[in-house]
Amino acid sequence: MTPCVLKFGGSSVATPERIRAVAELIKRRAEVCHPVVVVSAMGKTTDELLNLAYSVSKNPPPRELDMLLTVGERISMALLSMALHDLGLKAVSFTGSQVGIITENRFNRARVLEIKLYRITDALKEGKIPVVAGFQGVSVSKEITTLGRGGSDLTAVALAISLGKVPCEIYTDVPGVFALDPRKFPAARRYERMDYTVLSEMASSGAKVMHSRAVNLAAKYDLPFLILSSYEPEKGGTLVEKREHLESPGVKAITTMPVVMFDVEGREGIPLLARMVEAVRVLNFSHDATGRHLVLFVPVEERERALETLSELGVRFALREDLAMVCVIGWGVSAPEIMDTIFSVVGWEHIFMMGSSDTKVCIAVEREREGVVVENLARKFGLYGTA
């Protein structure tokens, strides 16, 4: 039987009941393909482990953080294998290191260099279901590494490619990709099909549904994948694939993300920017050489690291913490008529920053206006209702 990669996110395995439900689902899928399962840590386990680390140390060494965080996925892989055994399936759990997920020498957000598939091929030959811990690997220098938050998606895509571009199903807590976050905007339109590029732009601008590096890897190897709900798989989901030639221009999605704005004074703008980009995920920057200002936007999760880096650099800066970045994503979205609509809906005076490319226009607005701005833009661009 052909292998298929089935990935279950933290929300899908948050409780013992959910783990048993997921095992049932895997059993049903095993009737049509040979599952290779990838699993994330249960519920909020990774956040709790991170909090634990910071309650012990102000500045935990990155190596020890990875050693700690990988435990989350070890718990769920073992429990899920037990639940599969109870259903009469031969399952065997493996850490990322055991299956040869080789990463670069970097902690906390290592890139995958190679997958050796060591134990997976043998397990498949023996008719067993491998259950692989997502989000982790082993570096070239044999250290345990993690791939970055949300990284189990990357494990799944990388495994599906290594196994010979086999079917890949990403099970989460919503039935596919929507034009807006369906938890905040329940009327958002759902897509049955979607292009890699649109999802990649969404993922890098705050739509958590799939890790952006996982989407980019799938696009690179042209590996279509399905995103669906583990709670209601019968509802179907979104097939993410290559579709440029089929897509008409227009807005497909809107994302939002809370951000912090740093306004740095001084002449050293550009060298300082290089240091910041290395240390922190900078979403957008602008440099005003005459006014000698460098303005940077970073996601709120990067706030501490940005503050630390700026104080190490010894520069003077002001910050604003009440902003959100709203991105309008689609094809040809920097066209004048789309820009005009954005300006007229949001109002110039409410826009703190703007950046655009052919597939994304992002603006920073006050966080308290975020909901209204998204509502109005979504209505204008027809993002409610069924696709």
According to the binding rule CB under 6 A, does residue 5 interact with ligand ADP?
no
Interaction partner, residue 207 (Mg ion, ligand ASP, ligand ADP, none; CB < 5-8 Å by kind):
ligand ADP
According to the binding rule CB under 6 A, does residue 46 interact with ligand ASP?
yes
Token pair, residue 357, equals 């490319």
Q: Which amino acid is at 333?
A: V
**Which window, 29-37, 151-159, 223-231, 295-303, contacts ligand ASP (CB under 6 A)?**
151-159
**Which window, 5-13, 89-97, 177-185, 339-347, contacts Mg ion (CB under 5 A)?**
5-13
Interaction partner, residue 149 (ligand ADP, Mg ion, ligand ASP, none; CB < 5-8 Å by kind):
ligand ASP
Among candidates 377, 370, 276, which has minimal Cα distance to 329?
Answer: 377
Residue 146 CB partners (closer than 8 Å, separation 6+): 65, 66, 69, 70, 107, 108, 109, 110, 135, 136, 137
Which residue of 99, 101, 133, 209 would you call a contact of ligand ADP, by CB under 6 A?
A: 209
According to the binding rule CB under 6 A, does residue 152 interact with ligand ASP?
yes
According to the binding rule CB under 5 A, does residue 150 interact with Mg ion?
yes
According to the binding rule CB under 5 A, does residue 151 interact with Mg ion?
no
Instruction: Summarize the chain as % helix, strand, coil (round to 5).
Output: 40, 30, 30
Which residue of 208, 243, 350, 380 would you call a contact of ligand ADP, by CB under 6 A?
A: 208
Among candidates 293, 288, 282, 292, which has minimal Cα distance to 260?
Answer: 282
Total residues found in the chain within this entry = 387
According to the binding rule CB under 6 A, does residue 325 interact with ligand ADP?
no
**Which window, 149-157, 240-248, 257-265, 321-329, contacts ligand ASP (CB under 6 A)?**
149-157
According to the binding rule CB under 6 A, does residue 139 interact with ligand ASP?
no
Q: Which amino acid is at 305?
A: R
> In this structure, what is the dihedral angle of CA atoms 274, 280, 283, 288, given to the nearest 10 degrees?
-40
**Residue located via tokens 């661009």:** 381
Contact status, residue 73 vs residue 86, Cβ threshold 8 Å: no
Residue 305 CB partners (closer than 8 Å, separation 6+): 279, 280
Which residue of 72, 150, 237, 269 would you call a contact of ligand ADP, by CB under 6 A?
A: 150
Q: Which residues pair with 239 in a beta bridge?
A: 193, 226
According to the binding rule CB under 6 A, does residue 235 interact with ligand ADP?
no
Which residue of 9, 134, 182, 237 would you call a contact of Mg ion, by CB under 5 A?
A: 9
Residue 267 CB partners (closer than 8 Å, separation 6+): 292
Q: How far is the CB of 270 from ligand ADP (least distance, A)?
A: 34
Binding site for Mg ion (CB under 5 A): 9, 150
Instruction: Enumerate binding residues for ligand ADP (CB under 6 A).
Output: 9-12, 40, 150, 172-174, 177-178, 180-183, 202, 207-209, 253
- Can you give the binding site for ligand ASP, defined by CB under 6 A? 9-10, 40-41, 46, 72, 134-135, 149-153
